[in-house]
Structure 1
Amino acid sequence: MFKDREKLLYAFTEQRAALTRFLARRLGCAALAEDLAQETWLRLAGRETAGIGNPRAYLFRIASNLAFDHQRHAGLGVEVEADAATVDAIADPKPTPEAEALQRSELARLLREVDNLPPRCREVFMLAKFEELSYAEIASRLGIAKNTVMVHMVKALATLERCMGDDASERDR
């Protein structure tokens, strides 16, 4: 029995990437494929393992069945009913009004600090963080060396960290 479980664990470990790719192709979602690959192991670990001749095929059969079950349930629009106490116990992912106000305030403060950066430093920072350009692209656009871009970014990040950190430590007092 222990030897059979070891063979299955070995097969799962060896085949996990292939199993996940198989599920991702079938389901069209990498995150769901990861979840179902893990569910495959959980199903396998909870079953009697004696007499499994081809562990790889057995793994893929379980995964295939899980994918089929998922697609069938998704196609039917199956919903789970829960009592009021269970629903009330689920945390609301939406931030509280206080948290939203604090986040808006922090963002406004960050934008003010970005405006206070030296012009070239601010320009490099904005291109990197808001336009998501690489350092090489920024260097090419501004006609400066890539190392100069890096120097400006380090200066911008250090200045912003210092400014934002100073205000946060003063607020905590």
Structure 2
Amino acid sequence: MQQLDRDEFEKLFRANFKGLCFFAQKYVKDFETAREIVQDSFISLWEKRDTIDASRPVKSYLTTVIHNKCHNYLRDNRKFNHKLLEIENLLEIRDDASNDLLVAKELKLAIHEAIEELPEKCREVFLLNRYENLKYKEIAVKLGISVKTVETQMSKALQHLRIRLAEYMVLILAIFTLVKLITESF
């Protein structure tokens, strides 16, 4: 490598900087990082200009230095990127959980509204069956009505809820399937 004075170094920098940045970017996939690596390589060249082999072409020296710095950067940042990926995954899980919570609240509100829309006797029969777990015969005795009337009222309630909550059916089925799988595994 020929002895570099300030003017020759500046010409070398201006002539090669941009191309070497693109060269480095192929490795690190980020232009700003590539620029920093190339700048560091030029600084290294300037600082070692007196000790570098004079027979070696300057551009060859720079590409070797840049190549090595890129590999060092990737090696050093692999651990960091792995941790960053873990953090991003946790944030995505938290976002998914937040979205699930919002959907669950929306579903709960829609169910409550649909139940409130039922006629009084129909709502009472439905609540006794689904929330107090009474059998049709027990509901009939408690309300002083026939079992057939309980069946009719439950049929009306379920039909109303199916229509009113149709947009939530996929979610409801997924929740019930999940609950069933969880309870069967214990």
Measured against the shorter chain, the TM-score band is 0.3 to 0.5
Q: Which is higher, the Rg of structure 1 or of structure 2?
A: 2
TM normalised by structure 2 equals 0.39
TM normalised by structure 1 equals 0.42
Structure having the larger proportion of residues in helix: 2
